[in-house]
Amino acid sequence: MAQHILENEFLKVTVADEGAELISVWDKTAGQERIWTGDPEVWNRHAPILFPFVGKVMDGKYRIGGQEYPMKTQHGFARDMVFACVEETGISVTHCLTATAHTLSIYPFEFRLTICHKLAGKQLVIEWAIENLGEEKMYYSIGGHPGFMAPGGVRKEDCLISFPGKTELQYLSANASGFILPQKKTLALRDGLAAWQADIPDTWIFEDHQVQTVGIALPDGTPYVTMHCDAFPMLAVWANPKGPFICLEPWFGRADDDGFAGNVDQKKDMQALDGGDMKRIEYAIDFH
């Protein structure tokens, strides 16, 4: 599968056509990889794009009006499809995915999804454009899922998660099947930092625009990665217990509530576009 290199004096970034996925950020200054390597024995992804659903739908199906559609895969289908590379400049690459006969059978909308990765110093900017090419209202969710390697010589369990300016946050978690539980819990912070704990829930899910900036810090609080995601209503933090990486995930929308049986327009933060409309979204990652 074709891959594309973005490079400047600080970073060498690799983006694949499959999923328009960021698969590597080589930090030239530190001499180390900053993105999870995708070891299939642990988690075979790097930074997948979640579209047109974030998370799972109950019983592998969802409803639009009176019509039911299958969606057996978690996080939609874009992450497993080959995007067309439509522009490449050396410091940016743009990919595009449009509806196919297969996608229309499980997601009845004529869409175009454009993904741009762009380097600016030690910052990587990710831009999305979601377009409804049809006439009917289109429902969708979209999210990022980048996995960041723990700093060299530092255990993931010794890293801190930073939420600058925050003293506490309310979060939800999912059950073993991936569906959202109703109980909100409080995450207490010290100087905007939370210790990564081995016994935390599978995922921290922060809703209602609580988080505008999130990061991974060294044990002494020194910033290592910072994500700027102020446009997003949701932010999730997840880590596979077996791998030395932590995922910071900006979301528009999320998995179904446990037992959910409504239509997609009743889902938390489900997005909608009228026929012919487009939405642009971006977030940025600083590699310190």
Q: 149-186: per-residue pLDDT in tens?
A: 999 889 998 999 999 999 999 999 999 899 999 999 99
Burial class (CB in 10 A: 0-12, 13-18, 19+), 100: exposed
* pLDDT at 1 exceeding the cut of 80: no
User: Among 93, 146, 143, which residue's Cα sits nearest to residue 118?
Assistant: 93
Confidence of residue 202 (pLDDT cuts 50, 70, 90): low
103 Cα distance to chain centroid: 21
What's the rounded Cα separation, in Å, for the pair 233 and 267? 13
- Considering Cα of 74, then 76, then 81, then 83, what sign does the dihedral take? negative
End-to-end CA distance of the chain: 30
Question: What's residue 199's pLDDT?
Answer: 52
pLDDT tops 60 at residue 63: yes
Mean local confidence (pLDDT), 240-247: 92
Bond into 52 cis (ω within 30): yes
Work out the pLDDT band at 195, boundaries 50, 70, 90. confident
**In this model, does residue 197 exceed pLDDT 70?**
no
The type of residue at 72 is K
pLDDT, tens digit, 9 for 90 and up, residues 89-120: 999 999 999 999 999 999 999 999 999 999 99
pLDDT above 60: residue 265 = yes
Banded model confidence at residue 66, pLDDT cuts 50, 70, 90? confident
Q: Mean of the pLDDT values across residues 64-92?
A: 96
Answer yes or no: is pLDDT of 233 > 80.
Answer: yes
What is the C-alpha to C-alpha distance for residues 241 and 247, in angstroms, rounded to an integer?
12
Q: In terms of C-beta density within 10 A (0-12 exposed, 13-18 middle, 19 or more buried), how is residue 205 classed?
A: buried
Per-residue pLDDT band for 11 (boundaries 50, 70, 90) equals: very high
Q: Which fold has domain 3-287?
A: Beta-galactosidase; Chain A, domain 5 (2.70.98)
Distance (Å, rounded) from C-alpha 73 to C-alpha 234?
Answer: 21
Mean pLDDT of 8-37: 97
pLDDT of residue 196: 75
Residue 124: pLDDT above 90?
yes
Which band of pLDDT confidence, cut at 50, 70 and 90, is reported for residue 65? confident
**Percentage of residues of the chain with pLDDT beyond 70:** 98
Task: Give me the residue label for tokens 């590379």.
Answer: 85
Determine the number of helices (DSSP H) and then strands (DSSP E) in the chain.
1, 25
Residue 208 in tokens: 């209602």
| Global confidence as pTM | 0.96
Given a contact cutoff of 8 angstroms between Cβ atoms, the answer to whether 111 and 275 are in contact is no
Sign of CA dihedral 228, 37, 121, 152: positive
Average pLDDT over residues 15-36: 97
Burial of 153 (0-12, 13-18, 19+ CB in 10 A): exposed
Which pLDDT band holds residue 200 (cuts at 50, 70, 90)? Answer: low
Taking the domains of the chain in order of start, what are their residue ranges?
3-287
Cα gap 244→65, rounded to integer Å: 43
Q: Identify whether the C-beta of residue 3 lies closer than 8 Å to the C-beta of residue 23.
A: yes
